[in-house]
Amino acid sequence: MEVIYMQMKTGVEQAVYAILLLHLLPERAVLPGEAISEQLGTSPSYFQKILRKLVRADLISSVPGVKGGFKLMKKAEDIRVYDIYLAIEGQQSIYSSSGIFDDMFELEEENKCCLLTDLMEEAESVWKTVLKRETIASLLSELHTDRFQEEVELVQELIQEKAVL
């Protein structure tokens, strides 16, 4: 059986991990966007667009100035993975019929349809349900296990070095 993957832009993945990094900040500290993009291995100019989308969605806030940066606007348990997905990807459906079925059978306007539409809408609904169920807090609980303890401590040290108080 062939496995089919639903795809989303890497911006969603980067945004989730950026929010996880911001959660590691000391209270009242901010983290410059360049520090986040460096830690994630992304282009700073491209990553600024992702950060702006997260700010517009009220998931993070931007503090301007020399001692500026970004910080979380909400608690980890109040940020759903779906919220991040919406901030980056928007509301559009992941499936849109291109009309191949109609063309294949030369259907007239009143008979046009897509056999896949209902199936894809159901799949998307299930996918969104899972994203709505998971929060940054649930991801953090997986991150804060013995499996990742050393790595998390190293990243926390790097974040604290680059944090602006």
CATH for 86: 1.10.10.10
Does position 50 have pLDDT exceeding 90, yes or no? yes
**Would you tell me how many other CB atoms lie within 10 Å of the CB of residue 90?**
8
In a 10 Å sphere around its CB, with 0-12 CB exposed, 13-18 middle and 19+ buried, how is residue 85 labelled?
buried
In a domain? residue 3:
no
CA 97 – CA 119 distance, rounded (Å): 12
Of 9-13, 68-72, 93-97, 134-138, the poorest mean pLDDT is in 93-97
Assess contact for 124 and 144: CB atoms under 8 A.
no
In a domain? residue 48:
yes
Please provide the average confidence, as pLDDT, over all residues in the chain: 89
| Residue range(s) defining the domain that contains residue 136 | 10-91+109-162
How many structural domains does the chain have? 1
